Amino acid sequence: MNESGVLILAAGKGTRMRSAYPKVLHNILDKPLIDYVVRTALCCTGRPEDVAVLVGFGGDIVEEHIKNTFPGVKILWQHEQKGTGHAVNSAREWWENFENLIVLNGDLPLMRGVSLKNFVNASKNYDCFITSFITDNPKAYGRVIRDGSGIHVIEFKDASPEEKNINEVNAGCYAFKVESLKRVIGLLTNNNAQDEYYLTDVLALMNSEKLKVNAFIMPEIEMQGVNNLRELCDVNNEMRMRILNKHLDNGVHIMDLSSVFIGPDVEIGSDVVIMPNVHIWANSKIGENSLIGTGSVINNSVIGDYVNIVAYAVIENSELKDHSKAGPFVYIREGSCLEKNAFAGKFVELKKSHIGENSKVPHLSYMGDATLGRDVNIGAGSITCNYDGEHKNKTFIGDNCFVGSDTMFVAPVELENDSATAAGSVITKNIPENSLGVGRSRQVNIAGWFKSKHKKGD
């Protein structure tokens, strides 16, 4: 028999969110809130097969998300949502195989793994051990009643005015001895204000069976439930500040804590400066001593050391190597790469393009499906015509090439090393090494034309 299983309750609709979307898939920063809860659970058990997520409302998309994100974590179904007690009972076949069952509400993203571990370690002597917190604003949480009959919980909607004044509330994470839970879970009724089978009623049932029940007081800030969009914003902000503080502690210079957003999986080296209004998401990694200029959005990208992202850069799934420079106003996407010392400047878009060492695309250019060697200079306004309406075609530009302004590369096309294009050229044929490609009509000057057309007073 395995020791402890963690069951995450994520089947509820989340009616108070006023959304057609399942509550647990709403994002905290760039990740669904269920991800934080599953991570906390994994932190405690270490084994995905000991964690199960109970899905129901919108269960197909929750299931797909969990399977893709946390392989090995078990999916269980609660087809009708009749309350948290009914939810736990629906998963009985799974948890019967454990000695202890930990139940986590799926809407508790701020709980830290280490806090869950402490709670579980303290739970060993109890048949039912619950988390609680003391608060000045007990909102609609279940109230923890400590009286002669032992600890139990009264739901807000069933509480008397005196009980509503109680400031210790149920936080929504529980540890049960499976043998004891089996004795009482079938006895739950839905005889209450919400016609639901409450998990919290298990406490009173255990008390009457003389089983041992107790509560463990947790830090309030970690136990905030998400039941509506306001609480989602509050939790989002708390998580955002937690992450920003971690980076500050690691020597990342964040200029404005109120406008910077960094996802939970981002890594940043020391002496990086992050200007206001910057967002950094997914598995982005930033080396040391780089500058992330104002208004920049970096998604799932790798930024090296001493990189200068001047301002207003959008960088997605790409890599900027050491000492490269980007922006202002640049869009770098889909697997592009700036090699060391390379530069993509003002109003430049790169898509699936590789810009070699010391090469520059300084102004108003589109490089799509292009490979540039080293020491290339691309004149202003040059673009790759990579799409012929059916296929995306490649452009190769060799080392040391000099591309005149406003060159159109009609791909597929190649410039060999040490070649050049004349400004305004439409390049449809390969250019051999050490050659100039001229692809434009010759200029003709028509003498006397100007004054014959523009008479004085016209």
Write the interaction track for ligand UD1 spanning residues 193-232; mark x where CB under 6 A is met and - where it is not: -----xxx------------------------x-x-----
By the rule CB under 6 A, 12 interacts with ligand UD1: yes
Q: If phi over 0 gives left and psi between -120 and 50 gives alpha, with beta otherwise, what is residue 438?
A: beta
Q: Which does 141 bind (CB under 5 to 8 A by kind): ligand UD1, Mg ion, none?
A: ligand UD1
By the rule CB under 6 A, 40 interacts with ligand UD1: no
* Given 78, 100, 123, 290, the residue binding ligand UD1 (CB under 6 A): 78
Q: Which does 361 bind (CB under 5 to 8 A by kind): Mg ion, ligand UD1, none?
A: none
* Given 26, 39, 82, 323, the residue binding ligand UD1 (CB under 6 A): 82
Q: If phi over 0 gives left and psi between -120 and 50 gives alpha, with beta otherwise, what is residue 155?
A: beta
Q: Distance (Å, rounded) from C-alpha 108 to C-alpha 130? A: 14
By the rule CB under 6 A, 358 interacts with ligand UD1: no
By the rule CB under 6 A, 406 interacts with ligand UD1: no
Positions marked active-site: 363
* Given 107, 127, 357, 369, the residue binding ligand UD1 (CB under 6 A): 107
Q: Distance (Å, rounded) from C-alpha 26 to C-alpha 22? A: 7
* Given 50, 107, 127, 316, the residue binding Mg ion (CB under 5 A): 107
* Given 45, 89, 170, 384, the residue binding ligand UD1 (CB under 6 A): 170
Q: Distance (Å, rounded) from C-alpha 54 to C-alpha 72? A: 14
Q: Name the closest residue to ligand UD1 (Cβ).
A: 142
Q: Which is nearer to ligand UD1, 198 or 366 (CB)?
A: 198
By the rule CB under 6 A, 154 interacts with ligand UD1: no
Q: Distance (Å, rounded) from C-alpha 409 to C-alpha 397? A: 10
Residue 220 burial (CB count, 10 A): 16
List residues binding ligand UD1 (CB under 6 A).
9-12, 54, 56, 78, 81-84, 86-87, 105-107, 141-142, 153, 155, 169-172, 198-200, 225, 227
